Amino acid sequence: MKLLHTADWHVGKVLKGVSRLPEQRSVLAEIVDVARREAVDVVVVAGDVFDTAAPSAEAQEVAWRALLELRSLGADVVVVAGNHDPADTFDALAPLFAGVGITLVGRPRRPDEGGVVELVARGTGELVRLALLPFVSQRGVVKAAQLLELDAAQAADEYAARIALVVGRLTAGFRADAVNVLVAHTTVRSGVLGGGERDAQTVFEYTVPGTAFPAAASYVALGHLHRRQQLPAACPVWYPGSPIAVDFGEEADTKHVLVVEAAPGRPAAVRPVPLAAPRPLRTVRGTLLELATIVGEVGDALLRVVVSEAARPGLADEVRALLPNALEVRVERLDTAPVPAQKRTGRSPHELFDAFLADRQVDDPRLVALFADLLDEQLSGGR
């Protein structure tokens, strides 16, 4: 049987004030095309469908429509909630989506209460058994009182041990005559951050060891980390990564979905399928003159611009006039020899302010003139 594994859509993402919905519509349509071309039996979305627990109506329309289009191909669609998703909303909508053949799981469930589902692959008739583990926060598995009593290392170990117990319970019913798949939104201890994850929500200290995944699993479909990667374990364990670069830390990545071929009694074979970048992210550097030479090369890429010039008021506006798609403008300190610290005693306010501007590499006569006016006003008592 064939399974398509994707995760971390982050539908509704806004980057520096710019909505990514047009790009997300495009890449989700491409994922649907991959599922159609590959004639997959099951589609797994391993969490973070949305970028926020309160997605806009437009973001919901994009995500729900994509899931329905995947289902319309005849594939079974299975979705677990990630740390960004509205888990309670997922569970509230689950009966509605179940009516059209989409399994939606918001909160962790017992195996006999929806934590494990069985499907029959449409193409081969093989039994597929899926254990489903949405995101579990450290406070959700380690009681608040314990968190207060334990130090950081002890709390992390307690989290790992408890998640391993949950995984063991969910996968205890894996069968030799079935394709056994664990779907989880979590951080594996040896995983590598993609660059666009939010550190506060990744909670990198709270991880699961690869030893938590049983050899009986044909495949482990993970979500949470945005870089495509395989993790060392007794069975195939993969993150597909995010389908678009969520932030500039991911700009160099080639994005993928994973097509997984599996049969009972043997590990799955995994094939990454690259996705086109609808609108790339790019970091460019240089002086204004140097940046002017690449205007025709950047296309419609969303830009982070690092300017190698002395800071001055209005510099960011000049950059954006040159490169309208500049979402972020940073000023890079020029390489200069360190200036020895000088005593303030006996130096005039003008000399001190000039030294301050020099230290900050700011070269703007208007600031010097403004400082002189303000100093004069202060010294004259506002007269």
Cβ neighbourhood burial of 314 (10 Å; 0-12, 13-18, 19+): exposed
Banded pLDDT at 137 (limits 50, 70, 90): confident
Share of the chain above pLDDT 70, in %: 87
CATH 3.60.21.10 range(s) for the chain read 2-274
Query: What's the average model confidence in pLDDT over 346-359?
Result: 74
Banded pLDDT at 149 (limits 50, 70, 90): low
- What pLDDT was estimated at residue 339? 55
Banded pLDDT at 232 (limits 50, 70, 90): very high
Helix (H) or strand (E) holding 223: strand 219-223
CA distances from 347 to 237, 343, 344, 371, 381 (A): 65, 8, 6, 16, 22
Q: DSSP assignment, residue 295?
A: G
* Three-state secondary-structure class, residue 191: coil
- What pLDDT was estimated at residue 240? 98
Task: Convert the pLDDT of each residue in 189-216 to its tens digit.
Answer: 888 876 666 544 444 467 889 999 999 9
From the options 3.30.365.10, 3.60.21.10, 3.40.50.300, 3.40.50.1820, give the CATH code of 2-274.
3.60.21.10
- What pLDDT was estimated at residue 334? 61
Banded pLDDT at 14 (limits 50, 70, 90): very high
Banded pLDDT at 305 (limits 50, 70, 90): very high
Residue with tokens 């030799």, as numbered in its chain: 176
Q: Are 65 and 72 in contact (CB under 8 A)?
A: no
Sheet with 219-223: strands ordered across: 116-120, 127-133, 179-185, 219-223, 237-239, 229-231
| pTM for this entry | 0.83
- What pLDDT was estimated at residue 202? 47
Task: Convert the pLDDT of each residue in 83-104 to its tens digit.
Answer: 999 999 999 999 999 999 999 9
- What pLDDT was estimated at residue 151? 65
Asked if the model's pLDDT at residue 242 lies above 90, the reply is yes
Q: How far apart are CA 147 and CA 100, in angstroms?
A: 41
Banded pLDDT at 335 (limits 50, 70, 90): low
Q: How far apart are CA 145 and CA 141, in angstroms?
A: 12
Asked if the model's pLDDT at residue 373 lies above 90, the reply is no
Residue with tokens 């043997």, as numbered in its chain: 266
Q: DSSP assignment, residue 86?
A: -
Give 26's contacts (C-beta < 8 A, 6+ positions apart).
278
